[in-house]
Amino acid sequence: MKLSEFSRKLKDFNSISDIDLKVKNLKLVLSQIKKINLKSNRHDKLKLVIQSALEISGCTRGAIMILNNGELEFKTGLNLDDKTIPEREFNISYSICSDVLKTGKSIFLEKAQADNKFSPTQSILSLNLQTIFCSPLIAENEKIGVLYTDCQSLSGKNMDAVQEYFEMFAEHAAIALQS
């Protein structure tokens, strides 16, 4: 990174506490990726990816869907208590997951019930979802699936910061899942 870039980025920080928060979040992402890379069992990796995504996003439920023959296939879902949620019980907004996979771009919604950019779907309304994070899993320039978390309350976190780290985590998690 050039000194001019570094100086410009440094001006983005409002205070030392912003720097401390960014360092803390980066350490969290890196430590979680390291743990995932140490796992050899694919199911254990998937579970750890969801646990980490829940910690980063502040949400209460998470799932991974992997692309299989052109369709998203539910792999595993967890709640905040580490309880596995079977696919038949894990109701999510599949339209958001499909959009993320199609565009390759993350969708983050806070106050999802009243979001103006993304019309609340029936599933968002019926599940009373307030916060949704969904990022593509892309490894070696290939979409392999999506990472999804949601909750029925507002996350209470700085959405801009969480988005940045959630996306960063999803990028590295995709690579870890491919190995």
What local confidence, expressed as pLDDT, does residue 18 receive? Answer: 67
Domain that holds residue 160: 3-178
What local confidence, expressed as pLDDT, does residue 125 receive? Answer: 61
- What is each CA distance from 135 to 10, 53, 113, 144, 158, in whole angstroms? 27, 10, 19, 11, 17
Tokens of 140: 């070696």
Q: What is the Rg, in whole angstroms, of the alpha carbon atoms belonging to the chain?
A: 16
The neighbour count for residue 104, using CB atoms within 10 Å, is 11
| 175: Cα within 13 Å, side-chain hemisphere | 10
First to last CA, the chain: 29
What local confidence, expressed as pLDDT, does residue 1 receive? Answer: 47
Tally the domains of the chain: 1
CA-wise closest residue to 72 among 159, 14, 153, 137: 137
CA-wise closest residue to 149 among 79, 87, 74, 73: 79
Residue-level pLDDT, tens digit, the chain, 179 residues: 455 565 555 555 555 566 776 777 788 888 888 888 888 888 999 999 999 999 888 889 999 999 999 999 999 999 989 899 988 888 887 888 999 999 999 988 876 655 656 555 655 665 667 788 999 999 999 999 999 998 877 656 667 778 888 999 999 999 999 87
SS3 93: coil
Contact between 143 and 136 (Cβ < 8 Å):
yes
CA-wise closest residue to 119 among 146, 93, 158: 93
Please report which residue ranges of the chain form alpha helices under DSSP H: 3-12, 16-38, 42-57, 94-103, 122-126, 159-178
Q: What is the rounded distance in angstroms from the CA atom of residue 159 to the CA atom of residue 164?
A: 9
Indicate which CATH number applies to the domain containing 42: 3.30.450.40
